[in-house]
Structure 1
């Protein structure tokens, strides 16, 4: 085994073979990813590629059809966005109403200052 891989801490978020179907529509098929503590990721794709479905599944809006989600090393089965939020997973939707004189960070957390925790 690679010594670097052996010393690597558990991923903050790990998704394995996630699928989401809406009837006969396969919105997500076999999605796997890992996000380590302190990393920043960008999700890009064409309209209809499944970006919103993936984010909503991670945030507890949708239940996955199959696959596994681990958060902070524990299997996560979020039944609702409230369940996901209680563990520290939330969704920030695109909003063009920003305050120009405030930093990006302050705009990002505007209205949620008391909920900020480190993760």
Structure 2
């Protein structure tokens, strides 16, 4: 087996289907973990939400304040009907157009393969 060829093989991104050079490590080589199946360009499109800069109720991003509730969560807490129900939503990533498309592929177009992301 030519190890140099194996190390230089390109992976295919499961989101954009473009070839990319995956990272090879001993953990990947010995099967202890899998390599990344998403290219760097697609990975950068996921915008991580920082907990300290988001609404404590729904994770809606906010610029600077800590322990902040957005207008929607404040309104729901004041509503007599909804105030008795606890509401908490934690999102990891902002719902950008890229993430919206990925969710549509998964939920509505049956692309279950991207669940591995």
TM-score of the aligned structures, taking structure 1 as reference length: 0.25
Name the one with the larger strand percent: 1
Query: Who wins on radius of gyration, i.e. which is larger?
Result: 2
What TM-score does the superposition give when structure 2 sets the normalisation length?
0.26
Between the two structures, name the one with larger relative contact order (CA 8 Å, sep ≥ 6): 1
Query: Which structure has the highest helix share of the two?
Result: 2
